[in-house]
Structure 1
Amino acid sequence: MKMVRAVLRPENTELVVDALAAAGFVALTKVQAFGRGKQKGIDSGNVHYDELPKNLLMLVVEDEHVPQVLEIVQQHAKTGNFGDGKVFVSPVETVFTIRTGQEGV
């Protein structure tokens, strides 16, 4: 299993969530966040915005589904501009359901 974390522009988040759901990936967590990338924020006129609003999507998928999830995120989150976001993929050793104590997704 893998944990996929996608840091996205807020205006693209629902497009990604809807596309993931349509593909069968309905279980996810969405968190509002603030951050900046390599460009260290943006300048608009005389104002510098150091941290920008982002959304963090987190979902756990089987290894064979990672390429499909990455394609969906890329397709629906890409604007071609700086700040489109990042996707991080990490291994997941174990998952437990709190209510039942059952191990596994």
Structure 2
Amino acid sequence: MKKIEVIFRPEKLEPLKDKLLEAGIQGVTIYQVHGCGNQHGWIAYHRGNEVMMNTLPKVYLMTVVPDDQVKSFLQLIKEITYTGTVGDGKIFISPVEACIRIRTDETGDQAL
């Protein structure tokens, strides 16, 4: 199993959710977050003073998928979130040692 964490543009959330449902992917956690990277933010004015706003709204999606689904899941994520400009986001992949469904005590891929 792999834990996949994706940070991407907010306008890509609805198209991504639609495609995930079509693909039968279940069990995602989504947060509205703010962050900065190569995009560096923008300049705003507050009470006549120039202020560098260096965090931008992003979406953080986290899920765990079986090893045999990782490649197709990543391809789907990249297709939907790609714009070709700075600020498209990042994908982080980590191994998952175990998964236990509390309600049924199922473990491993069955618990996903």
- The TM-score bracket by the shorter chain reads 0.7 to 0.9
TM-score by length of 1: 0.88
RMSD between superposed Cα atoms in Å: 1.6
1:12-91 matched pairs, under 5 angstroms = 12-39=12-39, 41-44=40-43, 47-91=51-95
CA offsets per residue over residues 48-89 of structure 1, 9 Å max, x none? 321111111111111111111111111111111111100001
Measure, in 2, the Cα distance between the counterparts of 1:15 and 1:58: 16
- Which residue matches 2:47? none
* Same amino acid, percent of matched pairs: 39
Give the Cα–Cα distance (whole angstroms) in 2 for the partners of residues 21 and 3 of structure 1: 18
1:17 aligned counterpart, secondary structure: helix
Q: Which runs of 5+ in 1 are unaligned?
A: none
* Matched residues, number: 104
Aligned equivalents of 2:95 and 2:54: distance in 1? 31
Supply the distance in 1 between the matched residues of 2:82 and 2:56 (Cα, whole angstroms): 17
The amino acid of 1:17's aligned partner reads: K
Deviation at 1:44, TM superposition (A): 4.5
Matched, 1:100 2:104: yes
Q: Which moved more, 1:76-85 or 1:91-100?
A: 91-100
Any conservation in 1 of the 2:5–2:63 contact (CA below 8 Å)? yes
Q: Deviations over 1:32-57 (max 9, x none)?
A: 11111134x22357653211111111
Aligned equivalent of 1:7: 7
Counterpart residue identity of residue 9, structure 1: R
Mapped partners of 1:3, 1:67: distance in 2: 13
| Corresponding letter in the other structure for 1:63 | D
